[in-house]
Amino acid sequence: MMLLLALSLPALAVAQEADKTVPKVSYVTLVPAFVGNFGNGPRMKFYKADLSLRVPNAEAEAKVKHHEPLIRNQLVMLFSQQTEESMSTPGAREALRAEALKQVQSVLAQEEGQPLVQDLLFNNLIVQ
C-alpha cells in the first residue's frame, strides 16, 4: 500500500503541473443576439446572429464585458453594411467572421492597448 502511494505522488505532481501550464480559455456570449436588417434594394433583408468571443483568461473576460456596448455598436454597423452575397455563402460568412473579429480586436486595442479576443464564433447566423 505504501509503495502504491509513493508511486502515485509523482504522477499527481505532474498532473497538477500540467493543469498550471494549460491556459484557461473563456467564452463571452454576447446576449441578446444581434438582430437587424442589411443590404439595399426594394426588399428588406434581415439577420439574426448569436456570437461568442474567445478570451484567454478571466481578466480579459471582465474587460471585454466592460466594453461590450462599444463592441456591439461596431458589430451592428458592420452587419448593417453587408450585402446578400456577403451573408449567404459559407466562404462569405467566413470572411464576415474574420472581419468581425478584426473589428472587435481593433476596438479593444484602442480601449485597452491589446486585442484581448482570440477568436469570434458564430453560434448561429440566420439570414432571410
Q: Residues of the chain with pLDDT > 70: what percent?
A: 82
Query: Domain limits at 40?
Result: 22-127
Residue 1, pLDDT > 60, answer no
pLDDT-derived band at 9, boundaries 50, 70, 90: low
What pLDDT score was predicted for residue 21? Answer: 60
Find the length of the chain.
128
| C-alpha span between 29 and 12 (Å, rounded) | 34
Q: What percent of the chain has pLDDT over 90?
A: 68
Rounded Cα distance between 48 and 86, Å, is 14
Residue 11 has pLDDT above 70, yes or no: no
Min mean pLDDT across 18-22, 52-56, 57-61, 106-110 is at: 18-22
- Tell me the helix, strand and coil percentages in the chain, rounded to 5: 55, 25, 20
pLDDT at 124: 93
Residue 34 lies in a domain: yes
Residue 103 in grid coordinates:
473589428
Eight-class DSSP state of 89: S
- Number of C-beta neighbours around residue 109 at 10 A: 13
pLDDT digits (tens, 9 = 90+) for 45-91: 999 999 999 999 999 999 999 999 999 999 999 999 998 888 888 99
The domain that holds 107 is classified in CATH as 3.30.479.30
Total of domains in the chain: 1
DSSP letter string, 28-61: EEEEEEEEEEE--SSS-EEEEEEEEEEESSHHHH
Record the pTM. 0.78
106/90 Cα distance (integer angstroms): 24
pLDDT (mean) for 80-109: 93
| Mean pLDDT within 99-121 | 96
Residue type, 10: P
Q: ∠ CA 32-44-100 to the nearest 5 degrees?
A: 45
